[in-house]
């Protein structure tokens, strides 16, 4: 961005307001490292690709090679799920498709990251038994799990309820 501005300025062109605007997908940062995932095996490589959305929010993707095809999974708070149902012949093609998909689904991914962050805080609170909330319904309300208008996209609110209830029963009910 700054190189383009410098080049334009050095060529005598005037800078416009649009030159100073923040690019649309500025805060999206997808790692391109080969962080080995727990599914990784020599004959079936599997790599974690973290998407940073700013403000401490992240979404974890997993690229896994199965039967000579690359597949893309997304880590939800409670399970992994296929993000793209296409299969790719190379990791590079899978990453290109993932980048395009991320741009298309940016708002949904931000909402997913926000819900995941809240969910993980609640689960940590339940595990550590530092609960300030006493009823299960209050936990559901914190995640807005009773809402029928909310677009849950890739998440299943019933699955979230079930998981929170399991942690609640295991850690809070047992202590009472």
| C-beta separation of 44 from 65 below 8 A | yes
Rounded to two decimals, the pTM is 0.76
- What pLDDT shows up at residue 97? 96
| C-beta separation of 79 from 163 below 8 A | no
Residue with the bigger pLDDT between 94 and 30: it is 94
Element (H, E) at 72: strand 69-75
Q: Is 47 a residue whose pLDDT tops 90? A: yes
Segment 61-83, tens digit of pLDDT: 999 999 999 999 999 988 899 99
Q: Which residues on neighbouring strands pair with residue 133, listed in sequence order?
A: none
């Amino acid at each position: 961005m700054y190189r383009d501005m410098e080049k334009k300025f050095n060529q005598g062109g005037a800078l416009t307001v649009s030159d100073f605007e923040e690019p649309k997908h500025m805060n999206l940062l997808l790692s391109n490292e080969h962080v080995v995932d727990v599914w990784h095996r020599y004959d079936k490589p599997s790599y974690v690709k973290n998407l940073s959305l700013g403000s401490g929010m992240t979404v974890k993707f997993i690229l896994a090679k199965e039967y000579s095809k690359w597949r893309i999974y997304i880590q939800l708070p409670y399970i992994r799920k296929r993000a793209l149902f296409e299969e790719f012949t190379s990791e590079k093609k899978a990453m290109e498709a993932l980048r395009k998909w991320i741009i298309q689904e940016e708002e949904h991914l931000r909402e997913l990251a926000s819900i995941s962050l809240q969910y993980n805080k609640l689960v940590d609170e339940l595990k550590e038994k530092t609960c300030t909330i006493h009823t299960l319904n209050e936990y559901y309300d914190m995640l807005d799990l009773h809402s029928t208008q909310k677009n849950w996209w890739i998440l299943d609110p019933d699955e979230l309820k079930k998981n929170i209830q399991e942690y609640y029963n295991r850690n809070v009910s047992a202590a009472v």
